Amino acid sequence: MRRKIKPPAWQHVAAARRSLIESKIPPEWRVPEELLKRKNLVDLPRTCGIMTEEELSITESSAVEIVSAIQANKISAVDTTRAFCKRAAIAHQATNCLAEIHFEEALLRAGELDEYMRVHGKPKGMLHGLPVSVKEHIKMKNTTATAGLIAWASEVSDEDALIVRTFREQGAIFYVKTTNPQTLMAIETDSNLFGRTLNPHNTNLTCGGSTGGEGALLAMRGSVLGIGTDIGGSIRVPSAFNGVYGFKPSIGRMPHSGLSGLSDGMQNIIGVIGPLALSLEDIELFCVAALKNDPWKYEPALLDIPWKREVDIPKKLKVGIMWSDGVVQPHPPITRALKQVVAELQNQGHTIIDWNPQLHHSIYDVTNEAYFLDGGAEYHQTLKDGNEPPVPIVKWLLDEKGKHHYTIEESWRVNRDLEKLRTMYALQWNNHDVDAIICPANPSVASVHDESRYWGYTSVWNALDYPAVIFPVSRVERTDIWKNFPPLAAPFCPMDAWSRDLYTDSEGPLRYEGAPISLQIVGRRFQGESVLRITKHVVDILSHKAPETSQD
């Protein structure tokens, strides 16, 4: 009888993976240990002395500016790639944000692209020479896509995801893959395989999830454009927690094939691919490039809708403000940011109405049912296959949400409930005819580790399939206390009470010190271009720039 070979302990698998990542960082790019002891490490690339002034200048430019400079032969793809490899290495040492490092391959590719420009006198595509970072579970040929699972640690992808292939064809350079949490189903980034990823604004706080490594990397400008995914807030929460821009499009707008993950094939709630970036112009660059090569010819689920670069919005907007979703009320910093945005919009003559969140609790509850129709069985089995325990946030998730295995008939009921609520929400929108809704992205700014337990401010928009953009507004201040920004009501539920207790007047501002405050703008289904344009209008108002001309 053949003896069954016992798989290696998960600790050995994790140690080997982390050692491999560390081995890819050159000794001359190592940050002295004493510089890594501060809470706020955002400026580390500029202060550690590893990067040249030219490299700092390149990495502190936007993606649009970098592409333009390379095409004008002002900078080379090799120099650009080396600068971002350096900065990503520094960011990883500060936050543990990288899952795979491919610096050598990226520099070789950059050299090929420089040679292409020299020979042909034109760029290979609209992303020629731009380093782009990729969330770990998005497949990239000859790399792993583990979804943070020990059981999948050695599975190597034999082809690119469609979005990766499309960007390669447009001249993008892939140099790192970034961390995501165990199972992906968490809005903070922790796994046995990669460890915990930190928030560079305050390392006591989470970077969010599940595209958390991207959020941390972009916050430190180790990337200016990242590819993420979102099925419940996985682009938007890290964007909000790290103070960068993020965009969740509607289903069918961006290429989505070629991902690893549990619940593969689930149609009740469908995830999307989208960008994290440092400017709204870079988000638009991502969207245009993603659709440049007619991806709907290769992924039948995609809609044949090219990205519209020119869209009109009203000169005077009508905006719904959702102060709370009626489930978990926001902490004082979030309320202050909402009040600031409302005041600025009203000063410019825009119409503001209070948005009634009457349907949000029901949508949140049904959405959570849809996520775990098998009662978490696949999650438990895959963890068992890897001989690994769930990390704390995933254990809480499975204990709390994965309690019931639904029959086929029960899953039909979930779908019916979702469709009914979608119709009711559309009618509410029609009745008020707003151009957009502005709301929190989370009740809190970046959470303390293992305290990210509520995703209703983001997952509802996945269930409704409405496009949403995250934009930064401010940072936590000492005056952000309940006394100055009181809740709307007594706690709505135990989760609301628990969340409120996390932020006390005596300790709250210090506990979340340095954390960015971001908000979310939501639009009608498939109107991503309009949502981006409205967000740019709002951001221009907040920065006291003259907004672009819109329609009457």
Domains and CATH numbers, the chain: 10-30+39-297 (3.90.1300.10), 318-465+476-544 (3.90.1300.10)
Average pLDDT of 358-381?
97
Q: Give the range among 201-210, 262-271, 428-437, 541-550 with minimum mean pLDDT.
A: 541-550
| Residues with catalytic roles | 135, 210, 234
Q: What's 205's DSSP letter?
A: B
**CA–CA gap between residue 185 and residue 174 (Å, rounded):** 25
Q: Which residues on adjacent β-strands are paired with residue 516?
A: 475
Average pLDDT of 341-350?
98
What does the chain come to in residues? 552
Rounded to 5°, angle at Cα 286 from 317 and 44 = 100
Closest of 60, 61, 55 to residue 80, by C-alpha:
55
Are 398 and 185 within 8 A, CB to CB?
A: no
**CA–CA gap between residue 167 and residue 289 (Å, rounded):** 7
The confidence band for 8, taking pLDDT boundaries of 50, 70 and 90, is confident
The helix (H) or strand (E) run that includes residue 87 is helix 77-95
The confidence band for 4, taking pLDDT boundaries of 50, 70 and 90, is low
Query: Is 459 annotated as a binding-site member?
Result: no
The confidence band for 551, taking pLDDT boundaries of 50, 70 and 90, is low
Res. 23: pLDDT tops 50: yes
The more confident residue out of 546 and 35 is 35
Closest of 288, 338, 297, 280 to residue 485, by C-alpha:
338
pLDDT digits (tens, 9 = 90+) for 502-522: 999 999 999 999 999 999 999
- What pLDDT, on a 0 to 100 scale, did the predictor assign at position 455? 98
**CA–CA gap between residue 463 and residue 433 (Å, rounded):** 20
Query: Is 125 annotated as a binding-site member?
Result: no
Are 543 and 482 within 8 A, CB to CB?
A: no
Overall pTM surpassing 0.75 (yes/no): yes
Q: Burial level of 327, CB count in 10 A (0-12/13-18/19+)?
A: buried
Closest of 219, 212, 123, 215 to residue 173, by C-alpha:
123
Q: Give the C-alpha distances (Å, rounded to integers) separating 478 from 472, 475, 505, 508.
A: 18, 10, 9, 9
Which amino acid would we find at residue 394?
V
Query: Is 499 annotated as a binding-site member?
Result: no
Query: Is 233 annotated as a binding-site member?
Result: yes
Residue 380, both tokens: 């438990």
Which amino acid would we find at residue 440?
P
Pure H helices in 96-149: 103-120
Residue 9, both tokens: 């302990």
**CA–CA gap between residue 337 and residue 484 (Å, rounded):** 13
- What pLDDT, on a 0 to 100 scale, did the predictor assign at position 544? 87
- What pLDDT, on a 0 to 100 scale, did the predictor assign at position 444? 98
Query: Is 402 annotated as a binding-site member?
Result: no
HSE-CB at 341 with a 13 A cutoff on CA atoms is 31
Q: Give the range among 7-16, 154-163, 168-177 with minimum mean pLDDT.
A: 7-16
Query: Is 150 annotated as a binding-site member?
Result: no
- What pLDDT, on a 0 to 100 scale, did the predictor assign at position 5? 63
Q: Give the C-alpha distances (Å, rounded to integers) separating 216 from 108, 194, 429, 449.
A: 26, 14, 35, 14
**CA–CA gap between residue 445 and residue 470 (Å, rounded):** 13
Res. 549: pLDDT tops 70: no
The confidence band for 338, taking pLDDT boundaries of 50, 70 and 90, is very high
- Cα end-to-end span (Å), the chain: 80
Average pLDDT of 392-418?
96
- What pLDDT, on a 0 to 100 scale, did the predictor assign at position 1? 44
